[in-house]
Amino acid sequence: MDPKRKKIYIILIVVCLLLSAGVLYWSNSGSSTPPHLSGPSSPTNAVPGSAGYSSISSNSPQASGSVETGFKAPAVFPATDKFNTEVLDTDSFKKLKSFNPVSAAGQLGRPNPFNNY
């Protein structure tokens, strides 16, 4: 191997190793304890009917079924798994051009594509 090329490869490997070590050091050098958050020292639970209580169940989406009865598919999925063949009879489908395969007879290209031309 050419000594100049060998030197370049060694430099690239050393730089990659140094960058990897730097990333590992940087990711582990942070503090191990989470930052102090301002607020109450213990979480408070609001009692239903009190001033701090808000019901979020009226705004949250409800399930479309249950485990026993099964769940309905979302509206984006079709109701059946059958293919609608009415599309094939529409005018816009009939206006499409049919596929014409390309003839490659006699177009073999270069005799040896691996030669330098």
| 48: Cβ contacts below 8 Å, ≥ 6 apart | 55
Bridge partner list, 33 = none
- 52 or 113: whose pLDDT is higher? 113
pLDDT of res. 11: 97
Q: Global pTM?
A: 0.28
- The three-state secondary structure class of 70 is strand
Mean local confidence (pLDDT), 24-30: 83
User: Other CB atoms closer than 10 Å to residue 98's CB: what's the count?
Assistant: 4
| 29: Cβ contacts below 8 Å, ≥ 6 apart | none
CA distance 10 to 15: 9
Contact (CB, 8 A) for 47 and 53:
yes
Start-to-end Cα distance in the chain: 27
| 63: Cβ contacts below 8 Å, ≥ 6 apart | 71
pLDDT of res. 86: 87
- 25 or 64: whose pLDDT is higher? 25
- Predicted confidence (pLDDT) per residue in 50-90, tens digit: 655 555 555 566 666 677 777 776 777 777 778 778 888 89
pLDDT of res. 21: 94
pLDDT band at 44 (very low <50, low <70, confident <90, very high): low
